[in-house]
């Protein structure tokens, strides 16, 4: 009897936001092997940054690597570049960058959660999460003038300052979000159907998580205590009293909970940032051209984002290299998929929160 | 599940979160929202800083034989980053960013015309340089 | 007249078989057709003429002949056992011999007719000669594709024809002694035909079939022993008249023996093994006629059981097999195996209904016996066509058969539909079954569950056949040898016609046959409308469903104009997707558990027999 | 029901079903704090679909969709005309079988998975409906829907277990969360429906309206002669099913079959046993 | 950025010597076209600590074959494939095609992009 | 009855990401969420080209996704409209002239409505869809072809074989 049936998923598929092709070999819907093609979104951003755009434009260009974590890309690019050009970045600008990053994390996590809900067939929860997410989107617009692509971090600081009125508005938005967070968690957890659907599904063990070099929420949900916010000192996260959140089970359920907790944590961080925001100029002049090489790592919503830049004194980088968190996690995806039911795949996939446009650049 | 059930039931009696068409129309963009790029030829000093600063090259200046620059902007190429405005020596007068977003268009020629314009912009500068020499 | 027809129907096949066997190669095909036609006309005539039961006493010398034949058979089995070095067969043969000897020793002659032709028998003749005759005809074509010598092919067909006589006799035998002989003859033909291909698998399967059926024979002999022990005459009619406990005991043994012949779990293996034989074997012996001995026996003795724990045990056993068989079939992959298991399963249902023994239930049982016979024969024949012409045995190989063999697939679908969908006979049988079993406790739960699983099974297989049509699916009828198309189409037409005429069919065909056993059936018809005491099936529903099912094949032939053709959605990729199906691996322990439960039920029946006898 | 009313209902079935479906969409939206589509949205969709350029994978596939619709209507007609309840269920199976065969007849994994899962869904709900039929028989002595409508005491009270069982399997029948694996938009994008478009999808779309009507009309039976009670019950079930749809994730087929059969079959059986004892 | 110079054939040994997946994460392999040759960096970062990353690097000729870390560190395969695709680095077992379509330029990130093999 | 009227009232959407940065995609998702609830306008996200009337494309069309885009487009039944959401979709945006992109969807398929923005805001998307719907109302049932289709459509009798239509493009581009 032919026991293996191939179920292709993608490149266009209702459960996918991005083109990605997975080819599952299944036995009765149970995955036995998977092949993937994740190169659909390759546009050649690295090449363009090394050939067409001068280094000052690069933060805006790399932001378009991905709309979900645009700010992390531009921040990382900026942090790396600032090491090899002459410029002084004020403490305030650094704090504002953190602020934008935390907002981005919230909106990305909420989108991921909404997508998990949608992919598991829980439309109402998707709607609910998206509804609450609107608050963050509005906050982001207040902060940066745009809902998705902030274009906030730039060489020498951030593109716009924040007044106290704005801070108040932001506080109100996150405050409102905070108050609904526990209800949201209830809906994800206190429900027999979500428990049946999520518990023990799409799990990765701690050992595997280490072996496959996972990063971000996937690693943390499996018990790896890794968070670039404490592992690098590019941004003054230590001043905020930061401690990463870790879960143990490594399954879909744990990842959901972890994301919800990280949202709460980010809200707290935002409140602390707004409270203790140092005074200073938000933007300072950049002089000279990049010469030498530098790297920067920051914690994107999906984990460690790495930028490497190298300049030779010209206006255009000699090399720019992006390694995104999804890229690091891809190997783990396969391990997670194996042995799962095809019916859980969309939910698992959503909870792994893959970002192909980050990966393929 | 029961909490969710009750909540769904209660939601029936809550006002939907959806903006009514009227609300949506009345809702001004958030203050500081980054929308259309406005330009005033009178105030412009044709320093071309904006053209240089624009990442996707959505601003093109085409130079006629007399050396007169004309400003062209493609809102369907623009990424609304605001770099041009930041680069402009006369922000708010020559170049500014509005809060209202750009509306959609059905003109099938937008793209084609811009391809021609990109060529023309380069050519015009070369031509002008040659003529000046 | 009936007497003559009976004799012709019983002895004629043997004669015709000889003729067919001896006929020159060129003539043998037409001769088979002629024999089938002759036999069927005789059966039809008998059925038409039949007014009341006709008893036919055989001349005294036949008794001696029967005894002789009995021992010859047992001797043959013994020889087979010794030669094949199969201890169990030897043992069983010896046991049979001893038991038979004892029975014969104690037997006293009774002034009863050995053969009683009742309406049930006459109706079953229609099935045997109609379906069986077509299968024999079909076998002529089928065997051409075998590697056998022409002579051997002719022998094969001849055996099939001769076998029809055995079955004909079996359904009207009143003498249990005679019945035993016929039973053993079917065992013999099973053995010979399953082993026909003479390879290792055939040998094993045939031996398995032999010992299991021998066991059935032993149980029959035990039943006979009980009767003899009580000094009662060895006749069904006499048995039915006695009201005492021992009669029940005897019936239990007889039924148990017949259940083995019906391959009820845990004795399902032998029928499965029959797969290795040429397909006509499966069609005639193992689906449409021979295995029907099981429900037939229960049906015949049903009245006797009525209201006893034995009836309950048999009914639940049948119900259980109905569900279990369907479940096991789900995991199977060879079309023939699937068909075999669904046969076992449905036989379970028939057994169950026969044991319930209300007029309605008996009608349902007989309806199922008849229509299942027709449908299964057709399905097996189509399986044979697919195997021989398209070299597809397992369901996997049938992916997308539709584009290659639309006609075969269509007939297979028709066969499936006729068992699962209204307004076909078998489904109506099931419908009646539920209405009938609803009166007796929870049997209908089995029916409900079993029919859903069977539907699942059939659609799964059907789906697979439709799975991978060519890119531009226009249905062109494939060329298949006329023998195949004519025989199967005849069955198909029978199914289709009987579906729309289901109400009259039930009233004129089934009810009279059941009447003598359970008088007072409440099935009636008005035009095409079928009326049961608990609900009607109005004509418009029958016609509506019929039209829908008939529109379907018509639709398949008519290409749509002015409609674009588009490729299947594949996520934007240009890949060809392959057909898929679930398989439902029944874990080994479940299969084993089912066999064990079956064995327990079976043991219970035998035990009940023993207890009732002693009591 | 029977009689003129019944036949009128049968004729108007797609209309009523459409409104029912529209109501469901609206209700669902409101439960999600959305404004939702207009009530008549299904009909807008209906007219739009007529207007599309026709397109099929192959002819048979297209025809099968239409047959599915006709079959569904026939099943509904059998029910509304007061026909035999078992036949109602078998006719419904007939209608579904067209869809399943259609699902398998195209070379699309999603469609075929959908067909397979549809079969499993049938496995999940069909026995319960048969059970209900028998339950009605116990009470009214007949399998006919007509007879049920003459029962003076509502079957609801005697058949509580079966009512609950039916409510449990209802989502499987209507392809609603948590038992909507047959449709599973995010996995197999509608399953059996996926290859249909335009006019042919229309057939499926309207068949779904009929399916709604069918399911809820079956519930109305539980009111017996007191059809107002039946309607009220149907309304409650309607609300409940929509609520549950909005409060659960989708389960996979193993879970679905296990839960529906494991929960509702014993429940129904016990209930029947009790009725039988009385 | 502190680099440890190694030769490609010593790579596996070096990595084995210190790599403990619970303490170090393989970040990525990076290649830079310096104009004359390729600068290959294997970057490892500590997990949970703010310490200097370990960078093993090696300058190699454009087409020089390089060993793969995939057997030791599964996650490295992807980076190697990408470098192979975009810069034409000849990692063992890596094939182009991860990102690039057949009609795209070969090894586009090289300073002088390669001609397409087929034309 | 004028059936065209109803096209506007029940536009079903197919969303395809042809290599965008996700920014516009999540805004499309936000359109489905309660705040903007496009289902109020009868819009459903079908995720299936065969049942869709509107193709919402995002992204500048990367080389690897162009075949898929065209394939999906051909699988949609006429009348249909295409909405290019986001600057990069209209003209390539920031990705214009990168080596692996096609500088906008209208290089491949006809676009009916261009939505500016990076990322396009939900209001903008809805407005763009509304504009496309105006066009949809006046479209005929004639086959619309992707631009890169050269050579005649394959027709047999009165039926058009859309399979070949898509295959042509593939032959051209690969
Ligand atoms: N992978 C990824 Fe990103 C994130 N978070 C990256 O830096 O989303 Ni598109
Ligand atoms: S906003 Fe940005 S993209 Fe638009 S014209 Fe200005 S600089 Fe160019
Ligand atoms: S930067 Fe301002 S002043 Fe200079 S050319 Fe541009 S618009 Fe004119
Ligand atoms: S327009 Fe901008 S935000 Fe939208 S997809 Fe393109 S790059 Fe991303």
CB of E50 within 8 Å of any CB in chain A?
A: yes
Rg (CA), chain F: 16
3-state secondary structure of F96: coil
Contact A43 F100 (CB under 8 A): yes
Three-state SS string over C21-37 comes to HHCCHHHHHHHHHHHHH
Q: Is the CB of A67 under 6 A from ligand 4?
A: yes
> How far is ligand 3, taken at its centre, from the CA of residue B95, in Å?
7
* pLDDT attached to residue B26: 64
Give first-to-last CA distance, chain B, whole Å: 80
Beta bridge partners of A118: none
- Residues of chain C positioned with their CB less than 8 A from the CB of D100: 459, 463
- C-beta atoms of A61 and F94 within 8 A: yes
Distance B74 CA to ligand 2 centre (A): 9
Residue C577 main-chain phi, psi, to 5 deg: -85, 145
Tokens of A38: 């994740």
* pLDDT score at C468: 53
Give residue C441's pLDDT: 58
Put simply, whether A28 touches C (Cβ < 8 Å) is yes
Asked if C578 and A29 come within 8 Å (Cβ–Cβ), the reply is no
Show contacts of C236-245: CB within 8 Å, 24+ apart.
C236/C173, C236/C174, C236/C175, C236/C176, C236/C179, C236/C300, C236/C301, C237/C112, C237/C116, C237/C174, C238/C110, C238/C112, C239/C176, C239/C301, C239/C304, C240/C301, C240/C303, C240/C304, C245/C612, C245/C613, C245/C615
Residue D179, pLDDT > 80, answer: yes
pLDDT score of C277 more than 70: yes
Structural domain of D129: 3-277
Alpha-carbon distance values, D5 to D10, D15, D149 (Å): 9, 15, 13
Q: Which of D90, D43, D100 is nearest to D68 (CA)?
A: D100
3-class SS string, C522-559 = CCEEECCEEEECCEEECHHHHHHHHHHHHHHHHHHHCC
Q: Does residue C428 lie in a domain region?
A: yes
> SS in 3 state form for chain B?
CHHHHHHHHHHCCCCCCCCCHHHHHHCCCCCCCCCCEEECCCCCCCCCHHHHHCCCCCEEEEECCCCCEEEEECCCCCCCCCHHHHHCCCECCCEEECCCCCCCECCCHHHHHHHHHHHHHHHHHHHHHHHHC
Would you call F160 and C564 a contact, using CB atoms and an 8 Å cutoff?
Answer: yes
Distance A59 CA to ligand 2 centre (A): 13
Residue ranges of domains in chain F = 3-145
CA distance A28 to chain B (A): 29
C55 touches C174 (CB < 8 A): yes
**First-last CA distance in chain F:** 46
Per-residue CA distances from C590 to B80, C339, C584 (Å) = 66, 20, 12
Average pLDDT over residues A149-157: 86
Higher pLDDT, C95 or F158: C95
Count of alpha carbons within 13 angstroms of residue C95, beta-carbon side: 18
D49 with D198: CB under 8 angstroms? yes
Host domain of residue C484? 262-556+579-614
Q: Residue A108 CA: which ligand is closest?
A: 1
pLDDT band at C352 (very low <50, low <70, confident <90, very high): confident
pLDDT tens digits, one per residue of B23-62? 776 666 677 788 888 888 888 888 888 888 898 888 888 8
Beta-strand runs (E) in A113-217: 153-154, 157-158
Pick from B35, B52, B58, B102 the residue to mutate for probing ligand 2's pocket: most ligand atoms within 8 Å of its CB.
Answer: B58
Give the distance (Å) from ligand 1 centre to CA of residue A286: 27
Q: How far is the CA of C541 from the centre of ligand 2 (A)?
A: 70
State if residue B50 touches ligand 3 by the CB under 6 angstroms criterion. Answer: yes
The arithmetic mean of pLDDT across residues A305-322, rounded, is 88
* C407 DSSP β-pair partners: none
Counting ligand 2 atoms within 8 A of each CB, the residue from B49, B84, B87, B114 with the most, and so the one to mutate, is B84
Q: Is the pLDDT score of F158 beyond 60?
A: no
- Locate C141 and state its tokens: 């074509």
- On whether residue C446 sits in a domain, the answer given is yes
* Alpha carbon of E110: minimum distance to chain A alpha carbons (Å): 9
Gap between the Cα atoms of D132 and A200, Å rounded: 36
User: Is the pLDDT at D32 greater than 80, yes or no?
Assistant: yes
Confidence of residue C240 (pLDDT cuts 50, 70, 90): confident
- The verdict on A4 touching C (C-beta cutoff 8 Å) is no
Q: CA A252, CA A116: separation in Å to the nearest integer?
A: 9
Q: Best mutation site among F13, F18, F20, F21 for testing chain A: the one with the most A CBs within 10 Å?
A: F21
CB contact under 8 A, B17 and D34: yes
- The predicted-structure confidence for A9-65, as pLDDT tens digits, reads as follows 878 888 788 888 888 888 777 888 888 888 888 888 888 888 888 888 888 989 888
Q: E with C: 3 or more CB pairs under 8 Å? A: no
> Whose CA is closest to atom 8 on ligand 2?
B54
* Integer Cα distance of C423 and C496 in angstroms: 9
D225-278 pLDDT, tens digit each: 787 888 888 899 998 888 888 888 888 888 888 888 888 888 888 888 887 766
Q: What are the pLDDT digits (tens) for D126-159? A: 888 888 888 888 888 777 888 887 777 777 788 8
Give the pLDDT score at E8: 81
Residues B31/B35/B39/B45 CA torsion (nearest 10 deg):
80
F53 touches chain D (CB under 8 A): yes
pLDDT, tens only, C420-459: 777 777 777 777 777 777 666 577 777 778 888 888 888 8
> If you average pLDDT over every residue of chain C, what do you get?
77
Residues in contact with C256: Cβ distance below 8 Å, sequence separation at least 6, in sequence order: C216, C219, C602, C605, C606, C609
**CA nearest neighbour of E96 among E111, E118, E71, E112:** E118
Class in CATH terms, A4-360: mainly alpha
Asked if E105 lies within 8 A of F99 by C-beta distance, the reply is yes
Chain B contact for F167, CB < 8 A? Answer: no
**Among partner residues B4, B53, B83, which is closest to A187 by beta-carbon distance?**
B4
Q: Token pair 């207007």 is at which residue? A: D51
- Express each pLDDT in B1-22 by its tens digit: 777 778 777 877 777 777 777 7
Residue pLDDT, tens place only, C366-376? 888 888 888 88
Residue C336 forms part of a structural domain: yes
Measure the CA–CA gap between E85 and A44, rounded to whole angstroms: 12
DSSP E3: E
For residue C583, pLDDT over 80 is answered with no
Long-range contacts (CB closer than 8 Å, 24 or more residues apart) made by C606-610: C606/C219, C606/C252, C606/C253, C606/C256, C608/C248, C608/C249, C608/C252, C608/C309, C608/C310, C608/C313, C609/C222, C609/C223, C609/C226, C609/C248, C609/C249, C609/C250, C609/C251, C609/C252, C609/C253, C609/C256, C609/C310, C610/C249, C610/C252
Q: List phi, psi (to 5°) of A24.
A: -95, 135
Rounded distance from Cα A108 to ligand 1 centre (Å):
9
Stretch D174-178: mean pLDDT? 83
Q: How confident is the model at residue A1 (pLDDT cuts 50, 70, 90)?
A: very low
Question: Cα separations (Å) of A302 from A106, A141, A220, A333?
Answer: 11, 22, 11, 13
- Of E77, B26, B8, F18, nearest to D242 by C-alpha is B8
Ligand 4 atom nearest to A64, measured from its CA? 7
Task: Estimate the share of chain C in helix, then strand, then coil, as percent rounded to the nearest 5.
Answer: 75, 5, 20
Rounded Cα–Cα distance for residues C606 and C611 (Å): 9
**How many of the other CB atoms lie within 10 Å of CB of C578?**
16
The radius of gyration of chain B from alpha carbons, rounded to an integer in Å, stands at 22
Asked if the model's pLDDT at residue E34 lies above 60, the reply is: yes
Please name the residue of chain A whose CA is at the shortest distance from the CA of residue E108: A47
Burial class (CB in 10 A: 0-12, 13-18, 19+), A220: buried
Partner-chain residue, chosen from E30, E45, E73, that has the shortest CB–CB distance to A321: E30
Are D252 and A346 an interchain contact pair (Cβ–Cβ within 8 Å)? no
Ligand 3 atom with the smallest distance to the CA of B47 is 4
Band of the pLDDT at F150, cuts 50, 70, 90? very low
Structure tokens at D78: 């059998």
Both tokens of D144, joined, read: 């006919």
Distance of alpha carbon A286 from the chain centroid: 28
Asked whether the beta carbons of E58 and E5 are under 8 A apart, the reply is yes
Q: What secondary structure letter does DSSP report for E34?
A: -
- State the Cα–Cα distance between residues C191 and C184, nearest whole angstrom: 10
Half-sphere exposure of A237 (CA within 13 A, CB side): 23
To the nearest whole Å, the CA of E10 is away from the closest chain A CA by 22
pLDDT of residue A125: 87
Is A14 in the F-facing interface, judged by CB distances under 8 Å?
yes
C225 is a domain residue: no
pLDDT of residue D81: 84
Mean pLDDT over the full length of chain A: 86
pLDDT score at F171: 43
Residue C171: which residues within 8 A CB-CB, separation 6 or more?
C120, C121, C124, C125, C128, C296
User: Do residues D82 and D8 make contact, with C-beta atoms less than 8 angstroms apart?
Assistant: no
Pocket of ligand 1 (CB under 6 A): A 66, 68-69, 72-73, 108, 300-302, 305, 324-326, 355, 357-358; F 22
Separation in Å, CA of E37 to nearest CA in chain A: 14
Q: Please work out whether the CB of residue F136 comes within 6 Å of at least one atom of ligand 4.
A: no
* Cβ–Cβ contact A323 with E under 8 A: yes
Please give the average per-residue pLDDT across A166-187, as a whole number. 86
Mean pLDDT of A287-298: 87
Question: A186 — contact with chain B (CB < 8 Å)?
Answer: yes
> Global pTM?
0.88
Structural domains counted in chain C: 1
Predicted ipTM of the assembly = 0.86
Give chain E positions within 8 Å (CB) of A230: 48, 50
Q: What total number of domains does chain D contain?
A: 1
Of C27 and C374, which is predicted with more confidence?
A: C374
Instruction: List CB contacts of C321: < 8 A, sequence separation 6 or more.
Output: C264, C265, C344, C345, C347, C348, C351, C598
Q: How confident is the model at residue F170 (pLDDT cuts 50, 70, 90)?
A: very low
Q: How confident is the model at residue E81 (pLDDT cuts 50, 70, 90)?
A: confident
Q: Is D201 on the interface with F (CB under 8 A)?
A: yes
- Is residue C506's pLDDT more than 80? no
Ligand 1 centroid to Cα of residue B31, in Å, is 28
**Nearest partner of D7 among D75, D79, D85, D81, judged by Cα:** D81
Stretch B88-108: mean pLDDT: 84
Task: Extract the tokens encoding A344.
Answer: 């859980």
Chain centroid to CA E94: how far? 11
Q: For residue B102, give the chain F residue with the closest CA.
A: F116
Q: Which helix (H) or strand (E) holds C80?
A: helix C61-84
CA dist D125 and A36 (Å) reads: 37
Contact F128 B110 (CB under 8 A): no
Q: Residue length, chain B? A: 133
- CB D135, CB D272: distance < 8 Å: yes
The helix or strand, by DSSP H or E, that contains position D63, with its residue range, turns out to be helix D59-80
Q: What is the pLDDT of residues C104-126, one digit of tens each?
A: 777 766 667 777 778 888 888 88
Q: Looking at residue E118, what is its pLDDT?
A: 47
Half-sphere exposure of A258 (CA within 13 A, CB side): 26
Cα C49 to Cα C29: distance, rounded to the nearest angstrom: 30
Task: Say if the Cβ atoms of F119 and A42 lie within 8 Å.
Answer: no
Radius of gyration in angstroms for the set of CA atoms belonging to chain C, rounded to a whole number: 24
Residue C573 has its nearest CB partner, among A1, A8, A29, at A8
Would you place residue F161 in the very low, low, confident or very high pLDDT band (cuts 50, 70, 90)?
Answer: low
The rounded Å distance from CA F97 to ligand 2 centre is 17
pLDDT computed for residue C473 by the predictor: 43
B23 interfaces chain D, CB cutoff of 8 Å: no
Percent of chain C with pLDDT over 70: 91
- Cβ contact, residue pair C565, F159, below 8 Å: yes
Joined together, the tokens standing for residue A257 give 């909970």
Per CATH, is F3-145 categorized as 3.40.50.12280?
Answer: yes
What burial letters (b/e) apply to F10-47, b meaning 16+ CB within 10 Å?
bbbbbbbbbbbbbbbbbbbbbbbbbbbbbbbbbbbbbb
| Touching partners of A (3+ C-beta pairs < 8 Å) | B, C, D, E, F
B55 lines ligand 3 (CB under 6 A): no
* Within-domain flag for C167: no
Q: Is F45 helix (H, G, I), strand (E, B) or coil?
A: strand
Chain A residues whose CB is inside 8 A of the E53 CB are: 295
pLDDT at position C400: 66
């Amino acid at each position: 009897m032919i026991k293996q049936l191939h179920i292709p998923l993608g490149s266009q598929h209702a459960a996918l936001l991005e083109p990605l092709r997975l080819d599952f070999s299944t036995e009765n819907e149970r995955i036995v092997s998977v092949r993937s093609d994740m190169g659909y979104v390759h546009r050649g951003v690295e090449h363009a940054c090394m050939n067409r755009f001068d280094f000052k434009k690069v933060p805006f260009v790399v932001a378009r690597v991905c709309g979900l974590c645009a700010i992390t890309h531009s921040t990382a690019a900026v942090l790396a570049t600032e090491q090899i050009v002459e410029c002084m970045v004020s403490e305030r600008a650094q704090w504002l960058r953190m602020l934008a990053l935390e907002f981005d994390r919230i909106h990305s996590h909420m989108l991921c959660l909404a997508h998990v809900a949608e992919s598991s067939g829980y439309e109402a929860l998707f709607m609910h999460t998206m509804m609450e997410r609107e608050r963050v989107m509005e906050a982001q617009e207040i902060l940066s003038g745009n809902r998705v692509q902030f274009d906030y971090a730039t060489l020498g600081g951030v593109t716009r300052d924040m007044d106290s009125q704005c801070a108040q508005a932001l506080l109100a938005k996150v405050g409102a979000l905070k108050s609904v967070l526990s209800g949201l968690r209830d809906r994800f957890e206190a429900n027999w159907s979500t428990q049946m659907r999520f518990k023990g599904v799409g799990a990765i063990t701690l050992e595997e998580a280490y072996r496959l070099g996972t990063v971000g929420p996937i690693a943390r949900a499996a018990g790896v205590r890794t968070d670039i916010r404490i592992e690098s000192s590019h941004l003054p996260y230590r001043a905020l009293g930061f401690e990463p959140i870790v879960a143990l089970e490594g399954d879909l359920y744990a990842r959901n909970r972890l994301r919800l907790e990280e949202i709460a944590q980010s809200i707290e961080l935002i409140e602390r940032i707004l409270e203790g925001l140092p005074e200073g100029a938000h933007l300072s002049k950049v002089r000279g051209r990049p010469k030498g090489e530098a790297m920067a790592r920051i914690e994107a919503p999906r984990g460690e984002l790495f930028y490497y830049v190298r300049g030779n004194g010209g206006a255009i980088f000699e090399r720019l290299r992006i390694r995104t968190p999804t890229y690091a996690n891809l190997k783990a995806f396969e391990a997670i998929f194996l042995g799962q039911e095809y019916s859980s795949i969309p939910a698992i996939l959503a909870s792994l929160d893959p970002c192909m446009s980050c990966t393929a650049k | 599940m029961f909490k969710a059930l009750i909540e769904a039931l209660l939601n029936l009696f809550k006002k939907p979160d959806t903006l009514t068409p009227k609300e949506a129309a009345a809702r001004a963009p958030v203050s500081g929202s980054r929308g259309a790029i406005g330009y005033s030829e009178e105030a412009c000093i044709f320093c071309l800083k904006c053209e240089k600063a624009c990442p996707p090259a959505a601003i093109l200046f085409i130079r006629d034989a007399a050396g007169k620059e004309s400003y062209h902007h493609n809102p369907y190429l623009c990424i609304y980053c605001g770099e041009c405005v930041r680069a402009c020596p006369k922000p708010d007068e020559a170049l500014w960013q509005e809060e209202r977003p750009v509306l959609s268009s059905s003109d099938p020629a937008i793209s084609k015309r811009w391809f021609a314009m990109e060529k023309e912009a380069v050519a015009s500068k070369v031509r002008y340089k040659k003529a000046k020499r | 007249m009936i007497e003559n027809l009976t004799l012709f129907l019983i002895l004629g096949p043997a004669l015709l078989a000889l003729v067919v066997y001896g006929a020159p190669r060129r003539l043998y095909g037409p001769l088979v057709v002629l024999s089938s036609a002759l036999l069927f006309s005789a059966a039809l005539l008998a059925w038409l003429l039949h007014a009341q039961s006709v008893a036919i006493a055989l001349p005294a010398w036949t008794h001696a002949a029967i005894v002789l034949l009995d021992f010859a058979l047992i001797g043959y089995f013994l020889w087979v056992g010794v030669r094949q070095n199969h201890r169990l067969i030897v043992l069983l043969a010896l046991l049979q011999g001893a038991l038979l000897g004892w029975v014969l020793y104690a037997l006293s002659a009774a002034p009863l007719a050995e053969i009683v032709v009742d309406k049930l028998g006459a109706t079953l003749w229609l099935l045997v000669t109609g379906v069986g005759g077509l299968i024999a005809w079909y076998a002529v074509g089928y065997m051409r594709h075998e590697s056998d010598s022409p002579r051997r092919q002719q022998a094969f067909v001849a055996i099939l024809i001769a076998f029809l006589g055995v079955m004909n006799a079996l359904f009207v035998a009143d003498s249990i002694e005679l019945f035993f002989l016929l039973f053993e003859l079917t065992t013999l033909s099973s053995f010979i035909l399953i082993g026909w291909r003479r390879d290792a698998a055939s040998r094993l399967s045939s031996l398995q079939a032999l010992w299991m059926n021998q066991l059935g024979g032993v149980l029959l002999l035990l039943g006979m022993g009980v009767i003899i022990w009580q000094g009662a005459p060895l006749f069904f009619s006499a048995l039915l008249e006695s009201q005492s406990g021992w009669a029940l005991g005897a019936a239990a043994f007889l039924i148990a023996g017949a259940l083995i012949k019906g391959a009820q779990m845990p004795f399902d293996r032998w029928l499965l093994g029959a797969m290795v034989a040429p397909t006509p074997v499966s069609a005639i012996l193992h689906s449409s006629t021979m295995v029907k001995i099981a429900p037939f026996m229960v049906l015949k003795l049903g009245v006797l059981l009525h209201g006893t724990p034995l009836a309950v045990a048999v009914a639940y056993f049948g119900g259980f097999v109905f569900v279990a068989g369907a479940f096991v079939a789900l995991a199977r992959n060879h079309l023939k195996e699937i068909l075999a298991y669904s046969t076992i399963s449905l036989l379970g249902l028939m057994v169950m209904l026969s044991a319930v023994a209300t007029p309605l239930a008996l009608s349902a049982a007989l309806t199922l016996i008849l229509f299942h016979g027709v449908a299964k024969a057709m399905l097996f024949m189509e399986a044979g066509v697919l195997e021989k012409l398209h070299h597809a045995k397992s369901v996997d190989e049938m992916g997308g058969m539709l584009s290659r063999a639309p006609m075969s697939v269509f007939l297979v679908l028709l066969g499936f539909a006729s068992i699962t969908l209204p307004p076909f006979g078998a489904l109506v049988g099931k419908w009646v079954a539920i209405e009938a079993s609803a009166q007796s406790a929870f049997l209908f739960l089995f029916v409900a569950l079993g029919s859903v699983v069977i539907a699942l099974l059939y659609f799964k297989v059907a789906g697979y056949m439709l799975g991978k049509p060519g890119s531009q699916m226009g249905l062109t009828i494939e060329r298949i040898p006329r023998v195949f198309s004519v025989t199967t189409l005849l069955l198909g037409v029978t199914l289709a016609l009987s579906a729309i005429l289901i109400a009259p069919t039930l009233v004129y065909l089934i009810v009279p046959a059941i009447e003598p056993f359970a008088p007072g059936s409440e099935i009636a018809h008005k035009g095409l409308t079928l009326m049961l005491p608990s609900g009607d099936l109005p004509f418009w529903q029958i016609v509506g469903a019929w039209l829908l099912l008939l529109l379907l094949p018509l639709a398949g032939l008519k290409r749509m104009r002015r409609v674009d053709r588009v490729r299947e959605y594949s996520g934007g990729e240009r890949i060809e997707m392959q057909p898929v199906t679930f398989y439902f691996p029944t874990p080994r322990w479940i299969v084993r558990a089912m066999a064990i439960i079956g064995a327990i039920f079976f043991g219970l029946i035998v035990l009940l027999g023993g207890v009732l006898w002693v009591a | 029901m029977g009689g003129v009313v019944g036949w009128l209902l049968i004729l108007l079935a797609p209309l009523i079903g459409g409104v029912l479906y529209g109501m469901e969409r609206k209700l669902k939206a409101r439960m999600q704090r959305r404004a939702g589509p207009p009530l008549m949205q299904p009909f807008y969709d209906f007219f739009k679909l007529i207007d599309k350029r026709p397109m099929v994978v192959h002819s048979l596939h297209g025809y099968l969709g239409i047959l599915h619709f006709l079959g569904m209507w026939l099943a509904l007609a059998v029910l509304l005309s007061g026909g035999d309840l078992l036949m109602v269920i078998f006719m419904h199976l007939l209608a579904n079988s067209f869809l399943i065969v259609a699902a398998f007849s195209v070379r699309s994994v999603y469609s075929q998975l959908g067909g397979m899962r549809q079969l499993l869904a049938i496995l999940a709900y069909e026995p319960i409906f048969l059970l209900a039929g028998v339950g009605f028989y116990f009470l009214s002595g007949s399998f006919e829907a007509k007879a049920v409508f003459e029962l003076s005491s509502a079957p609801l009270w005697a058949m509580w277990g079966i009512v609950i069982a039916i409510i449990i399997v209802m989502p499987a029948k209507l392809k609603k969360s948590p038992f909507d694996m047959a449709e599973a938009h995010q996995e197999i994008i509608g399953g059996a429906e996926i290859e249909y478009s335009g006019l042919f999808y229309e057939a499926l779309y309207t068949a779904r309206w009929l399916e709604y009507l069918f399911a809820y009309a079956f519930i109305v039976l539980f009111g017996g002669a007191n059809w107002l009670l039946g309607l009220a019950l149907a309304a409650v079930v309607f609300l409940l099913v929509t609520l549950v749809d909005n409060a659960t994730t989708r389960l996979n087929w193993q879970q679905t079959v296990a839960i529906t059969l494991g929960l509702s079959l014993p429940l129904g059986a016990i209930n029947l046993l009790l009725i039988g004892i009385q | 950025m502190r680099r440890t110079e190694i030769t490609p054939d010593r790579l596996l040994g070096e990595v084995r010597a210190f790599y403990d997946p619970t303490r170090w994460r393989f970040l990525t392999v990076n290649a830079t076209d310096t104009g004359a040759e390729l600068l290959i960096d294997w970057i490892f970062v500590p997990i949970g600590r703010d310490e200097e990353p370990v960078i093993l690097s090696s300058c190699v000729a454009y087409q020089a074959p390089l060993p793969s870390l995939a057997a030791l560190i599964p996650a490295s395969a992807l980076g190697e494939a990408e470098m192979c695709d975009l810069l034409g680095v000849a990692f063992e077992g890596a094939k182009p095609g991860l990102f690039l379509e057949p009609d795209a330029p070969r090894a586009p990130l090289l300073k002088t992009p390669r001609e397409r093999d087929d034309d | 009855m004028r059936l065209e009227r109803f096209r506007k009232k029940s536009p079903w959407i197919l969303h395809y990401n042809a290599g965008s940065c996700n920014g516009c995609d999540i805004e499309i998702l936000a359109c489905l969420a309660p705040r903007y609830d496009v289902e109020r306008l009868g819009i459903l996200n079908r995720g299936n080209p065969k049942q869709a009337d509107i193709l919402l494309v995002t992204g500048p069309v990367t080389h690897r996704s162009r075949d898929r885009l065209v394939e999906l487009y051909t699988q949609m039944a006429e009348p249909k409209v295409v909405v290019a959401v986001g600057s990069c979709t209209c003209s390539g945006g920031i990705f214009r002239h990168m080596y692996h992109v096609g500088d906008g969807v209208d290089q491949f398929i006809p676009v009916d409505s261009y939505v500016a923005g990076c990322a396009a805001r939900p209001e903008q998307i809805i407005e763009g869809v509304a504009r496309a719907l105006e066009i949809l109302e006046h479209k005929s049932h004639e086959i619309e072809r992707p631009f890169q289709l050269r050579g005649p459509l394959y027709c047999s009798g009165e039926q058009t074989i859309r399979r070949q239509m898509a295959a042509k493009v593939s032959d051209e581009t690969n």
